[in-house]
Every structure is written in C-alpha cells, then in structure tokens.
Structure 1
Amino acid sequence: MEALLSQFTFLSDQALQDKSFDPSTIEDLMKLFEIEAYNAWAAMELEHQQDVEEAEISLQQAEDYLDSVMENAMDEFRRFEEELERMSKAELDSLVKTAETARKMGNIMEKSAAIAAKKYIEAAVNSATASMKSAWKGLSSNPNKVHPS
C-alpha cells in the first residue's frame, strides 16, 4: 500500500508539472488501490474466519471438558448415593434384626413370667392347703380346744 501511495504522489506531482499528462495513468493506479483494498479486505475476512474457527474449536473443547467434568461429578454422586443407600440398608437390616431379637426376648420373658406366676400361685395354693390341712388336723385331734367356754 505504501508503494501505491508513493506512486500516487509521484503521478500527482507529474500531473501538476506536465500539461500533457495522461489522466488514465491515475485511473490505472486507482484500480490498483481498489485491488489492494479488496485484497486487504479478503485477507482480513480470511483471518476473521480463521479466528472464528479457532474460537469454535476452543468452545467445543471447553464444552467437552465441561461435559467430562460433569460426567465425572455425576459418576461420583452416583457412587456416593449407592454407598449411602448400601449403608442405610445395612443399618436398617441391623435395626430390624435387633428389634426381632428384642421381640423374641420379650416373648420369652413374658412366657417365663407367666410360668413363674403360675408356679408361685400353685406354691401359694399348696402352702395354704397344707396350712389348712395342718390346722384341720390340729382341730380334729383335739376336740376340746375347738370350743373355749
């Protein structure tokens, strides 16, 4: 572009000094300016297109990285969730087992208490019966003592 400007300056000076100067020479130079401007625009457009493509590639890489990070995070969350569920199930199973054991123990204690109460009542009845028999025997063997007068 500098060479064209230098050429334009030269032709301008020549046009001012030479009366027989051909103006078509400047027209040809103006066409060269136009071609140079178009080439600069095309180069800038190409550079812009390359920048856009590089930006799209960078964006795709960033999206791929984000997808990868999100997938890893989701996998970790799923593993955490599965582990938490496994631990919760194990704790629930342990609580159910403990409750079942306590229920069985309670049933055994209830049966034991019922048996002990029945034996106690039988012993009390037997003791009362033995006392009554003994008292009756004592009264039967000594008829004077029954009637105090």
Structure 2
Amino acid sequence: MEALLAQFTLLSDQACHDKNFDPSSIDDLMKLFEVEAYNAWAAMVLEQEEEVKEAEVAMEQAEDYLDSVMESAMDEFRRFELEMESMARKELESLERTADSARNMGNLMEKAATIASKKYMEAALNSATASMKTAWKGLSSKKVHPS
C-alpha cells in the first residue's frame, strides 16, 4: 500500500507539472488501490474467521472443562450424600437398639415391681392374718377363763 501511495504522489506531481500527462495512468493506479483494498479486506475477513474458529475452540474447551468440574462436584456430592445416609442409618439403628433395650428394661422393671408388690401384699396379708390369729387366740383364751 505504501508503494502505491508513493506512486500516486509521483503521478500527482507529474499531473501538476506535465501538460501532456495521461489521466488514464491514474485510473490504472486507482484500480491497483481497489485491488489492494480488496486484498486487505479479504485478509481481514480470513483473520476474523480464524479468530472466530479459535474462539469457538476455546469456548468448547471451557465448556468441556466446566462439564468435567461439574461432574466431579456431582460425584463428590453423591459420595457425601451416600456417606451421610449411611451415618444416619447407623445412628437410627443405634437409637432403635437403645430404645429396644430401654423398653425391655422397662418391661423387666415392671415385672419385678409387680412381683415385689405381690410379695409385699402376701407378706402384709400373712402378717395381718398372723396378727388376727394371735388376737383371736388371745380373745378366745379370755372367754374360756373368766376372771
């Protein structure tokens, strides 16, 4: 393009100083400018298309990386979720065993209390019966021997 500008300057000077100057030579130079401009435009379009392709490749790589990171995060979340479910299940089983033990202990304590209260009532009844018998004997013996 610089060579064309230099030639245009030369032809412009020649057109100003030479009365026999042929204006068609400037037309030829203008056609060269047009071709040069078209070539520059075509090169710019190709460069832009290349940059677009590079940007598309970069976007695909970024998307692939994002997909990979997201999949890794989801895998980690699934492992964490399974671990938490397992821990919760173990805790629930432990609580159920503790509850069963407490219920069994309560049942045993209820049976023991029932047996103890029956024995206490039997002992109290036996004691009351013995007291009544003794009192009855005492009363019976006083009737037989009037004083």
Q: Give TM-score, length-normalised by structure 2.
A: 0.90
Matched, 1:54 2:54: yes
What is the aligned partner in structure 1 of residue 24 from structure 2? Answer: 24
- CA RMSD, 1 decimal: 1.8
The one-letter code sitting in structure 2 at the alignment partner of 1:31 is K
Q: Distance in 2 between matches of 1:26 and 1:37?
A: 16
Kindly provide the CA deviation profile for residues 100-142 of structure 1, in whole angstroms up to 9, marking residues without a partner as x.
1101110111111011101111111111112222222233334
User: Which segments of 5 or more consecutive residues in structure 2 lack a partner in the other structure?
Assistant: none
Deviations 1:4-24 (A, max 9, x none): 111111122222233222221
Percent identity over the alignment is 70
How far the C-alpha of 1:71 sits from its partner, in A, is: 1.5
* Paired position in structure 2 for 1:12: 12
The structural deviation recorded for 1:53 is 1.3
For 1:44-83, list aligned pairs within 5 A.
44-83=44-83
CA distance in 2, matches of 1:109, 1:131: 32
Write out aligned runs for 1:106-121 (5 A): 106-121=106-121
The amino acid that maps onto 2:120 is Y
TM-score after normalising by structure 1: 0.89
For these two proteins, the number of residue pairs brought into alignment is 147
Distance 1:16 1:124 in 2: 148
Secondary structure in 2 matching 1:141: helix
Whole-Å separation in 1 of the counterparts to 2:143 and 2:67: 111
Gaps of 5+ in 1: none
